[in-house]
Amino acid sequence: MSKSPVSGGPESAPATLERPVLLKRLFTVSMLLILFMTATVFFGISIGSTGSGVAETLRTLFDGKGTDDAMHYTIIWRVRFPRVLLAILVGATLSLGGLVFQALLRNPLAEPYILGVSSGSGIGAIIGILAGFSRFPGVSATAFAGSMGTLFLLFVMSSGQTMLKKDTLLLSGVMVNSFCAALIMFLLSITQDSRLHNIMFWLMGDLSTADLYQVGILAIALVPCFVLLLTLSNTMNLLLMGRELAESMGLNIKAATITLLVVTSFMVSFTVSYCGPVGFVGLVMPHVLRLAFGPDHRVLVPACIFGGGTYMVLCDLLARTLPDQGEMPAGVITAIIGVPLFIILLKRSGR
Amino acid sequence: MKPICHMISLLAVCSLFLHGSPSAAARIVTDEMGRQLTVPDDPQRIVSFAPSITEIIFALGREDRLKGVSRFSDFPPEARQLPSVGSYISLDLEKIVALKPDLCFATRDGNPKDIVRRLAAFNIPVYAVNPKGLDAVMETIHRIGEVLNAAPKADAIIDQMRTRISRVKRWVAKAHRRPRVFFQIDISPIVSVGTPTLINELIEIAGGINLAKGPTPYPRFSREQVLSLSPDVIIITSMARGGRFEQVKSEWNRWPSVPAVRNHRIVMVDSNLFDRPSPRLAEALEILARLINPDLFEGKE
């Protein structure tokens, strides 16, 4: 998917890179990250609660299924593999979400979780769960409604001032987040149900529930969004150059903004309805990748897809293996890594 | 979506062949959720998803077939030796599958639906129980006994439970009044038990009045509300033992106007005995009856 040349945006746009250079760059970066991702996926399916062995996994994968390996084969492909795939999709979505919000709001600290979009989908999802909807399409729809609601709230709160002002936007995000947290606590406190425990676990970001079928549905919904964002990657470059310049390039800012926002919210709320609001992935990955590969979004979008996926698989692997007994929600790991980075970025951008 | 479903069921069938399922003979049973499932004629590899189910299987003498239990399965003590498949709220699919069970037992109250759905895809039958009262617990024991071909043993357990229950009823019938009981299952917030709970039933049979009676299963109370109810007995079950109980007790002791405080009737009971729908409920009932009407039981065993 990444190998297709990225078109989109007017041809006359002054790109930071010439086309052949860009293609070469794109190819190298994608190949490198895909290699990383393949390696992580391999570790992801080799390690689990019933023991782990890289050699054993290799033997099972390539040797076919001996009678004794049948169980191992089942566990690798039908227990661990769906989970790894889900992690890739979630990581890619959240990293892309961070990248889009950072470009759109021209704020390095923007991210679905920090802005409250994830919590908003969380509220929607909890309402859906309590109402007894099925995960798809019911809970996904309520989650989407929730995230659109918080986005709207966010814009109302920070309108009248320029969106460029970092503090206003972040403070609005913090407030939206607190409000969502309060609503979630309210919903949980009026629920007297055994479902409560599941929701608590889900709230911290839990990747353990989906099977291959559900991951398939998620992929069908998300992959077109990824492709759409790939075609919009040059638009993000233009947006970052400033309103006047972008408009003079013939970009319809309003249409571009709305498309980006809706697509991103849709993606984020869809993943939230599956595995809860996992935080800070959208902060960590775009910054790391920008440091490594430069600011061109035509490279960053595919980099976020593969790099974000890799990162999430690693975080989930830690979440599965760190505790002695059982496992912890993956959201715990992403927050432990993400929050210090957020503070560093905040200090740096304050200077 | 349909083709994917077919593919998954095909996969499931394939994996069945791969496992070389040992028990060819099978029968169809209906579990307590009304789900029909195919279980082996004589299940050999059982996994229990709740401590109460583990207790029932041990009581039925089928522990040799129990290959895995949920994490807090600690009674009888031998249960701790069995492999753990995660806590009953967050079960570890990988561990369950690796144990190659031919039958799992789940409880509707607590085990997530997701895990049952996913195990079905692995062709592992999950028998769900849903005991909602003392009679229902005996029914559950009977059903599990039937599935595990231990019906005579199950009936013996149930007979014994019935005998003990009716003995308590006979004793309690002699009481002149029904003491007012506040049964506290959590410390902060203070949570008690409403009418649709097993403990409410136990309190009623044991000759007490449950002060938290009402449609809410686990109502919350402020301290003020509890004081105004002026309970004769305060019974506290808690996961936390020892020091924690003393602390809670001393908090109540600050209100000597409450009859329970005045008469030193604040007691702690083993929560595992009271919140697990298992054969030990008969024992829980006897303990409760003694706590509620101590004078009736003087000199009795």
Instruction: Tell me the CATH number at B45.
Output: 3.40.50.1980
Cβ separation of A49 and B94 shorter than 8 Å?
yes
Give the number of other Cβ atoms within 10 Å of residue B262's Cβ: 12
A13 in a domain, yes or no?
Answer: no
B150 in a domain, yes or no?
Answer: no
pLDDT score, position B7: 47
Helix extents (H) in chain A: 19-46, 54-62, 70-74, 81-104, 117-130, 140-158, 166-189, 195-203, 212-231, 233-240, 243-248, 253-275, 281-293, 297-321, 330-350
Residue B103 and residue B31 in one domain: yes
Smallest Cα distance from A296 to chain B, Å? 39
Q: Which residue has the tokens 């970066």?
A: A29
Residue B90 and residue B180 in one domain: no
Q: Within an 8 Å CB–CB cutoff, is residue B92 touching chain A?
A: yes
Half-sphere CA count of B291, side-chain side, radius 13 A: 29
As a whole number of angstroms, the distance between CA A83 and CA A66 comes to: 24
Residue B125 and residue B179 in one domain: no
Query: Which segment of B63-77, B109-123, B255-269 scores lowest on mean pLDDT?
Result: B109-123
Q: Which of A75, A192, A194 sits opposite B94 (nearest CB)?
A: A75
Residues contacting residue B96 through CB under 8 Å, at least 6 positions apart? B47, B68, B85, B104, B115, B119, B124
Residues contacting residue B34 through CB under 8 Å, at least 6 positions apart? none
As a whole number of angstroms, the distance between CA A9 and CA A12 comes to: 8
As a whole number of angstroms, the distance between CA A209 and CA B119 comes to: 12
Mean pLDDT, chain A, rounded, equals: 83
Please, what is the Cα angle at B269 between B225 and B290, to 5 degrees?
95
Q: Within an 8 Å CB–CB cutoff, is residue B123 touching chain A?
A: no
Closest to B103 (Cα-Cα) out of B161, B16, B40: B40
pLDDT score, position A92: 96
As a whole number of angstroms, the distance between CA B125 and CA B36 comes to: 10
Euclidean distance between the first and the last CA atom of chain A, given in angstroms as a whole number: 40
A12 in a domain, yes or no?
Answer: no
Residue B120 and residue B190 in one domain: no
Query: Pairing relation of β-strands B220-221 and B190-191?
Result: antiparallel
Cβ separation of A70 and B18 shorter than 8 Å?
yes
Per the DSSP assignment, residues forming a β-bridge with B91 are: B86
As a whole number of angstroms, the distance between CA A79 and CA A212 comes to: 9
pLDDT score, position A129: 80
Residue A323 Ramachandran class (φ > 0 left, ψ -120 to 50 alpha, else beta): beta
3 state DSSP class of B133: coil
> Could you give phi then psi for residue B89, rounded to 5 degrees?
-85, -40
What is the rounded average pLDDT of the residues A167-184?
83
- Supply B17's token pair: 């062949």
Residue B97 and residue B212 in one domain: no
Q: Which of B84, B94, B110 sits opposite A80 (nearest CB)?
A: B94
As a whole number of angstroms, the distance between CA A59 and CA A63 comes to: 5
Closest to B88 (Cα-Cα) out of B141, B51, B47, B125: B51
B 160-199 residues with CB < 8 A to A: none
B163 in a domain, yes or no?
Answer: no
CATH of residue A289: 1.10.3470.10
Residue B198 and residue B266 in one domain: yes
Q: Which residue has the tokens 């807090």?
A: B72
Q: Are B77 and B114 in contact (CB under 8 A)?
A: no
Cβ separation of A67 and B95 shorter than 8 Å?
no
Residue B119 and residue B44 in one domain: yes
B280 in a domain, yes or no?
Answer: yes
Residue B10 and residue B125 in one domain: yes
Residue B185 and residue B272 in one domain: yes
**pLDDT digits 0-9 by tens, A260-316:** 988 998 899 888 888 888 888 998 999 999 988 989 999 999 999 999 999 999 999
A4 in a domain, yes or no?
Answer: no
Cβ separation of B94 and A79 shorter than 8 Å?
yes
A297 in a domain, yes or no?
Answer: yes
Q: Are B97 and B85 in contact (CB under 8 A)?
A: no
Q: Are A166 and A172 in contact (CB under 8 A)?
A: no
What is the rounded average pLDDT of the residues B96-108?
93
A237: exposed, middle or buried (C-beta count within 10 Å: 0-12, 13-18, 19+)? buried
Cβ separation of B89 and A198 shorter than 8 Å?
yes
Q: Within an 8 Å CB–CB cutoff, is residue B118 touching chain A?
A: yes
Q: Which residues of B touch A46 (CB under 8 A)?
A: none
A98 in a domain, yes or no?
Answer: yes
Residue B112 and residue B232 in one domain: no
A35 in a domain, yes or no?
Answer: yes
Q: Which residues of A touch B71 (CB under 8 A)?
A: 325-326
Cβ separation of B92 and A49 shorter than 8 Å?
yes
Under the banding of pLDDT at 50, 70 and 90, the label for residue A62 is confident
Number of domains in chain A: 1
Smallest Cα distance from A320 to chain B, Å? 10
As a whole number of angstroms, the distance between CA B131 and CA B147 comes to: 16
Query: Which segment of A118-127, B127-136, B139-148, B149-158 scores lowest on mean pLDDT?
Result: A118-127
> Which residue range is the domain that position B212 belongs to?
175-297
Residue B121 and residue B39 in one domain: yes
B146 in a domain, yes or no?
Answer: no
Q: Are A273 and A125 in contact (CB under 8 A)?
A: yes
Half-sphere CA count of B10, side-chain side, radius 13 A: 6
- Choosing from B130, B151, B186, the residue where a domain stops is B130
Cβ separation of B121 and A201 shorter than 8 Å?
no
pLDDT score, position A191: 73
B111 in a domain, yes or no?
Answer: yes
A202: exposed, middle or buried (C-beta count within 10 Å: 0-12, 13-18, 19+)? buried
Number of domains in chain B: 2
Peptide bond preceding A137 in cis form (omega within 30 of 0): yes
ipTM of the prediction greater than 0.85, yes or no: no
Residue A3 has pLDDT above 70, yes or no: no
Q: Which residues of A touch B89 (CB under 8 A)?
A: 197-198, 201
Q: Which of A65, A71, A194 sits opposite B98 (nearest CB)?
A: A71
Interface A–B counts its CB contacts (< 8 A) at: 66
**pLDDT digits 0-9 by tens, B116-138:** 888 988 999 999 999 989 999 99
Q: Which of B18, B20, B114 sits opposite A209 (nearest CB)?
A: B114
Say what the pTM is.
Answer: 0.82
Residue B78 and residue B195 in one domain: no
Q: Are B258 and B141 in contact (CB under 8 A)?
A: no
Q: Which of A50, A197, A326 sits opposite B98 (nearest CB)?
A: A50
> Which residue range is the domain that position A128 belongs to?
24-61+68-350
Q: Are B273 and B284 in contact (CB under 8 A)?
A: yes
CA distances from B9 to A85, A137, A254, B102 (A): 20, 22, 47, 18
As a whole number of angstroms, the distance between CA B77 and CA B56 comes to: 14
A254: exposed, middle or buried (C-beta count within 10 Å: 0-12, 13-18, 19+)? exposed
Count of positions (residues) in chain B: 301
Under the banding of pLDDT at 50, 70 and 90, the label for residue A7 is very low
The chain A residue lying nearest B7, using CA atoms, is A213
Q: Within an 8 Å CB–CB cutoff, is residue B3 touching chain A?
A: no
What is the rounded average pLDDT of the residues B23-43?
88
Residue B19 has pLDDT above 50, yes or no: no
B 213-242 residues with CB < 8 A to A: 216-218
Residue A325 has pLDDT above 80, yes or no: no
